[in-house]
């Protein structure tokens, strides 16, 4: 019984050792091939050829335009394309910037409005005209005053009373006496004849 068991263990050890030796030999061969072999040298000319010729700089930009009429037809009926025209593009012009100065700023000072002044109400007045002239009077309550007495041509003025109780003015000329009489009762009142009693 012991003999077959020893034989199996010995067989297993032998196979394992053979497999380990094979793996070690293969690994050594690959490592030697990778590290010991020098890299190939490539000439510069071959590198330049492989990369291709350098791109030539553009010399001019052309624009192709097609005639509006489209293709032309020959007598035989075949159509031939319209000729194309190459138009060179003009170089861009420099941009000129012009600065316009701003207009001067003007300031205006506005004066405040003058304060309103209290104006006394106008006194009642009266104007009386005759053929001899014009009389103007004003009233202040019950008081009256003569403002003006202007005679017409040929008459003279005779002021008998100019206020404050009454006004009595006569325009006279030879053979004629025209009078204007007035009193105040809040407003001018003209009267004829004797002075009225209050």
- State the average pLDDT over residues 143-165: 95
Q: What is the pLDDT of residue 5?
A: 78
Report field, pTM of the whole predicted structure over 0.85? no
- Local confidence band at 28 (pLDDT 50, 70, 90 cut-offs): confident
The beta-strand segments (E) located in the chain are: 62-66, 72-73, 79-80, 84-88, 125-129, 133-140, 143-151, 156-162, 167-173, 176-184, 188-191
What local confidence, expressed as pLDDT, does residue 171 receive? 97
The whole-angstrom separation of Cα 184 and Cα 198 is 10
pLDDT confidence of 192, banded at 50, 70, 90? confident
Report CA dihedral (46, 51, 56, 62) to the nearest 10 degrees.
Answer: 140
Residues 39-68: what's their mean pLDDT?
62
Q: What is the mean pLDDT of the chain?
A: 75
**Closest-CA residue to 164 (of 140, 194, 183, 143):** 143
Does residue 125 or residue 92 have the better pLDDT? Answer: 125
């Amino acid at each position: 019984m012991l003999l077959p068991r020893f034989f199996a263990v010995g067989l297993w050890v032998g196979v394992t050792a053979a497999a380990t030796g094979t793996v070690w030999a293969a690994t050594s061969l690959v490592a030697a091939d990778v590290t010991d072999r020098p890299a190939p040298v490539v000439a510069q000319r071959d590198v330049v050829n492989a990369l291709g010729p350098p791109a030539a700089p553009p010399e001019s930009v052309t624009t192709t335009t097609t005639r509006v009429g489209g293709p032309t037809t020959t007598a035989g009926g075949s159509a031939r394309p319209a000729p194309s025209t190459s138009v060179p593009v003009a170089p861009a012009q420099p941009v000129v910037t012009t600065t316009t100065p701003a207009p001067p700023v003007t300031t205006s000072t506005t004066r405040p409005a003058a304060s309103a002044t209290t104006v006394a109400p106008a006194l009642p007045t009266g104007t009386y005209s005759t053929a001899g002239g014009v009389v103007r009077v004003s009233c202040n309550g019950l008081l009256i005053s003569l403002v003006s007495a202007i005679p017409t041509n040929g008459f003279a003025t005779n002021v008998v009373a100019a206020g404050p109780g009454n006004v009595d003015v006569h325009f006279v000329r030879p053979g004629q006496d025209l009078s204007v009489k007035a009193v105040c009762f809040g407003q001018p009142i003209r009267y004829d004849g004797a002075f009225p009693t209050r």
